[in-house]
Chain A
Amino acid sequence: MAGKAEGINANTTYIDKRAIREVVTPEGVALRLQLADRGERAVAVILDLVFIFLSIIALVIGIVLFVGGFGGGSVFLPLVILISFAFRSFYFMFFELRWHGQTPGKRILGIRVVSRSGGSLQADAIIVRNLMRELELFLPMTLLLGGGGYGDEAWASLLSILWACVFLFLPFFNKDRLRAGDIVAGTWVIATPKSALLPDVADDRRDGIGGRDVQLAAQYRFTRKQLGAYGIYELQTLEHVLRQKGPDSRNVRAVVAERIGKKIGWEGPEYKTEPEAFLQGFYTALRQHLETKMLFGVKRRSKHDKEKGGR
Chain B
Amino acid sequence: MEAGLKSYKFRKDREATWVELDALVAQAEKKGVKSLSAEEMMRLPNLYRATLSSLSVARSISLDLNVVRYLESLCARAYFFIYGARSTLRDAISEFFLVSFPGAVWNARWHMMLSLGLLILGILVGYLLVGQNADWYYSFIPQELAGGRSPTSTTEALRGVIYDSEETAAETLSAFASFLFSHNSMVAMLSFALGFALGIPTILLMFYNGLTIGALTSLYASRGLGWDLWGWLLIHGVTELLAIALCGGAGIILASSLVVPGQYSRLEMLARNGKRAGQIVIGAVAMLFFAALLEGFARQLINDISVRYTIAFLSGAFWLSYFIGLGRKAKYGRQS
B302-329, CB < 8 A from A? none
Give every chain A residue within 8 A of B197 (Cβ-Cβ): 135, 163, 167
Chain B 150-193, CB-CB to A under 8 Å as 1, else 0, gives 00000000000000000001110011011101100110011011
Please, how many angstroms separate the alpha-carbon atoms of A201 and B5 in the complex?
Answer: 12
Q: Is the CB of B92 within 8 A of A128?
A: no
Closest CB of chain B to A35's CB: distance in Å? 13
A195 near B: Cβ within 8 Å? yes
Q: Is the CB of A121 within 8 A of B85?
A: yes
Q: Is the CB of B270 within 8 A of A183?
A: yes
Q: How many inter-chain residue pairs (CB < 8 Å) link A and B? A: 223
Chain A 93-122, CB-CB to B under 8 Å as 1, else 0, gives 000110111000000000010111001111
- The size bracket of the interface on B is 35 or more
Give every chain A residue within 8 A of B277 (Cβ-Cβ): 128, 184
Stretch of B72-80, B119-127, B226-234 lying at the A interface: B72-80
Q: Is the CB of B271 within 8 A of A122?
A: no
19 A-B residue pairings within 8 Å (CB atoms): A25-B83, A27-B52, A29-B75, A74-B171, A78-B177, A81-B178, A85-B185, A100-B80, A119-B83, A125-B85, A134-B193, A180-B193, A184-B278, A195-B77, A196-B70, A201-B66, A287-B5, A294-B61, A294-B63
B84 near A: Cβ within 8 Å? yes
Interface pairs A-B: 5 shortest CB-CB: A128-B278, A184-B274, A135-B193, A186-B271, A100-B84
Given contacts A26-B83, A202-B2, contact A193 B72 (CB under 8 A): yes
Given contacts A193-B76, A195-B22, A195-B77, contact A134 B274 (CB under 8 A): no
Give every chain A residue within 8 A of B76 (Cβ-Cβ): 31-33, 193
Residue from B33, B92, B178 within 8 A of A78 (CB atoms): B178
Q: Is the CB of B282 within 8 A of A291?
A: no
Q: Is the CB of B196 within 8 A of A120?
A: no
Chain A 185-206, CB-CB to B under 8 Å as 1, else 0, gives 1100000111111101111100
Interface of A is mostly: helix
Interface of B is mostly: helix
Chain A 6-35, CB-CB to B under 8 Å as 1, else 0, gives 000000000000000000011101011100
Stretch of B6-14, B35-43, B137-145 lying at the A interface: B6-14
A165 near B: Cβ within 8 Å? no
Chain A 111-146, CB-CB to B under 8 Å as 1, else 0, gives 010111001111111111001101110110000000
Q: Is the CB of B63 within 8 A of A120?
A: no
Closest CB of chain A to B273's CB: distance in Å? 8
Closest CB of chain B to A52's CB: distance in Å? 14
Residue from A84, A101, A288 within 8 A of B84 (CB atoms): A101
Please, how many angstroms separate the alpha-carbon atoms of A196 and B196 in the complex?
Answer: 42
A73 near B: Cβ within 8 Å? yes
A240 near B: Cβ within 8 Å? yes
A235 near B: Cβ within 8 Å? yes
A82 near B: Cβ within 8 Å? yes
Q: In the complex, which residue of chain B has the Cβ closest to the Cβ of A97?
A: B85
A48-104, CB < 8 A from B? 73-75, 77-79, 81-82, 84-85, 89, 96-97, 99-101
Q: Is the CB of A291 within 8 A of B63?
A: yes
Q: Is the CB of B267 within 8 A of A183?
A: yes
Q: Is the CB of A96 within 8 A of B63?
A: no
B129 near A: Cβ within 8 Å? no
B194 near A: Cβ within 8 Å? yes
Q: Is the CB of A81 within 8 A of B175?
A: yes
B133 near A: Cβ within 8 Å? no
Q: Is the CB of B267 within 8 A of A77?
A: no
Please, how many angstroms separate the alpha-carbon atoms of A124 and B96 in the complex?
Answer: 10
Contacts beyond the supplied A85-B182, A202-B5: 5 A-B pairs with Cβ under 8 Å: A32-B76, A78-B174, A81-B182, A101-B80, A202-B8
